[in-house]
Amino acid sequence: MPECLQSFKQFHFNEAEERELAAYAKAIGHPARVRLIRILAGGGCLGSDLVGQIGLAQSTVSEHLRVLKEAGLVHAEVQHPRTCFSLKPEALDRLQALLVSMRAG
């Protein structure tokens, strides 16, 4: 068992980064959104195709995509009457960097 901390002086807290990480965590905090990210990691996809892959109602998938888009993890390109969704790799890179920084203290 690790020893308990005696002081917090070695920590450098960055509230902006903590808020940013919390927003990402909230966005990926549902299994359906994690699955959507995994699917989109393979390439862009039409919203209607995602509904079939996820097995949820169209309105539910749309809501999950909206959350991911608002968090900046997903890009949506309207190609009337459809929408093509793609993952923003730079956002995943940022999420990974924030998680790694937690380990560094």
Q: In this predicted model, what pLDDT tens digit does every residue of 24-45 receive, in sequence order? A: 999 999 999 999 999 999 888 8
Q: Is residue 61 part of a domain?
A: yes
Residue 53 pLDDT greater than 70, yes or no: yes
Q: Is residue 7 part of a domain?
A: no
In terms of Cα–Cα distance, which of 88, 62, 73 is closest to 27? 73
Q: What pLDDT was estimated at residue 101?
A: 85
Q: Is residue 10 part of a domain?
A: no
Q: What would the pLDDT profile of 3-26 be if each residue is shown by its tens digit?
A: 787 767 777 778 999 999 999 999
Of the two residues 1 and 85, the one the predictor is more confident about is: 85
Q: What pLDDT was estimated at residue 98?
A: 93
CA dihedral of residues 44, 84, 53, 92 (deg, nearest 10):
50
Q: Is residue 9 part of a domain?
A: no
Q: What pLDDT was estimated at residue 1?
A: 73
C-alpha 78, offset from chain centre: 21
Q: How many domains does the chain have?
A: 1
Q: What would the pLDDT profile of 55-105 be if each residue is shown by its tens digit?
A: 899 999 999 999 999 999 999 999 888 899 999 999 999 999 999 988 765
Q: Is residue 55 part of a domain?
A: yes
What is the extent of the structural domain holding 37? 15-104
Q: Is residue 100 part of a domain?
A: yes
In terms of Cα–Cα distance, which of 50, 33, 48, 49 is closest to 92? 33
What CATH number has the domain bearing residue 62? 1.10.10.10
pTM comes to 0.83
Bridge partners, 79 (sequence order)? 82
